[in-house]
Structure 1
Amino acid sequence: MEPRVADYLALLKPRVMSLVVFTGLVGLVAAPGGIHPVLGLLAILCIAVGAGASGALNMWYDADIDARMTRTMGRPIPSGRLNDREALGFGMALSVGSVIVLGLFVNVLSAALLAFTIAFYVLVYTMWLKRRTVHNIVIGGAAGALPPVIGWAAVTGSVTWEPLLLFAIIFMWTPPHFWALSLFAKGDYERVGVPMLPVVAGPRETRKQILIYSLLVTPLAVLPAALGMAGWLYGAFAVASGVWFLYLALRVWRGEDMIQPRRLFLFSIFYLFGLFATLLAEKLLGLS
């Protein structure tokens, strides 16, 4: 079976990549000073390609378990549309290319951060943590939280507390988001031996941990407004959406069905997107 362009695009995990690229864009726009539009566009493109490369290498390494999970068996490698070598070569080429281009045309710090992000996701999360520890999502979430830091560094050539706060918000958001997914995908993870929290500690403990992390991330998300990094619009959204996030997390904790985890999982995507979209809107409108 001849691979198609769509198969290579699927390797990039476009849905995951889109959120990563968006948070990177917000970090770039929120940074003080400015960057030439062409260089800014190039930086975002490199972040996108680097994120896609991480996804491709993740699919290459996880092809064996993807083939046995209902949620992933239709991916290009398990379905036979691409082979291992094609996926590995594609991912490596994109990884190296995105880092080199970012370093040559933007700055070395942003390129180093992008290289670290790719390496952390592939080597630390995919190859080491994912199949060995229940803390895979908690620690591995650092990779998905770094794009706004990369965007900020692309503009300023430095890393200050502001992008680190954005990093912390995504980092703390990741566990309740993915643990909600793992509750209704528990059978898949159990079948392939991936030690996700519901498999190792059980659904009851997972529901409790979702609530704990939700109690941590929602006040953290208000800090950009409280510390002057964002304005009233962001603050109002962070408070209102945070209250609803906590309500859904409480429903997950108190319930036994799979409806509430699905609702929290879907809302968590809107929640993170909304936080960064509001911050972006404020910057573009000059409200903060």
Structure 2
Amino acid sequence: MSSTTHVTMRQLRAFAETYRSLNLTHAAQALHLSQPAVSSLIKQFEDSLGVRLFDRGPRALRPTKLADEAIRDVEEILSRVLALEARMRHRAEEGARSLSFTCVPALTTTVVPEVLAQFKLDMPEVEVVMIDQALPSLIDPVVNGECEFNISPFPYDTAPVESMSLVVDHVSAIFGPNSRLEKLASVSWSDLAGERIISISKNRTLQAVLKERLSVGDVEFKPAQDIFFIQTALALAANGMGVVLGPAFLARLSPHYGALYTRTIEDPVVDQGLLVHHRPGHELSKPARHFLELLRRRLSP
């Protein structure tokens, strides 16, 4: 009668080696196990299948007809497992020799080249592939496996990816000189009333927050400017054309940083940092982990 135990790879290997040699001692030597251990694995395999695979004589084992039938499937399974192990080892080795990612232009035009230069000093054998193209296509190479991960301040709520926080930050008011906000020690959402708000159009999550916090009664909030590129928005703010709302680290990356001021918006503080997106269940490679740690250190205040 069949038991509820599951067939294991050790049982399959013990059966295949015993079938080939028809000798428990020889099978045990080939498997680097004791003879009783091999005998026990064969018995467990038979119990799992609910059949007898060998007739045990005083000096030799004789495979049954069911064993003759089973060996074909067992050898195919073992062959497939060996091929899988070899393929995965190869993929792991490939991953250890490459760094492939997509990234928003606000980072690729500022801090990423500097971090990549340090990365190449640390891991010169690793090939780097970086894609910086328009959203939302930045996430597509990650989803289809062309790239390992994406770096962005924005979530991808509709894409099949997992996200992890790289830099923790908060929504801040980013503005230029001569703004009345410069005189405030702290800025609340109510302080933004009447300000020309420059919205970053691709940040849908932040746009929802702005509508919730800045709409008045039945009058829905509308930005003074709706800008696609982060650096364009920051350049406008630096020249007194309005206030950008976003994580403060973006201002530190801007070539206009000397003309920009930041204040964390309070009451309440809203989290928004830098995110890393990757395929569900994917474990980041060693080069990816090292590069992201370098980037995290560089972006930390």
Q: Report TM bin, short chain.
A: under 0.3
In terms of fraction of residues, the more strand-rich structure is 2
Larger radius of gyration: 2
In terms of fraction of residues, the more helix-rich structure is 1
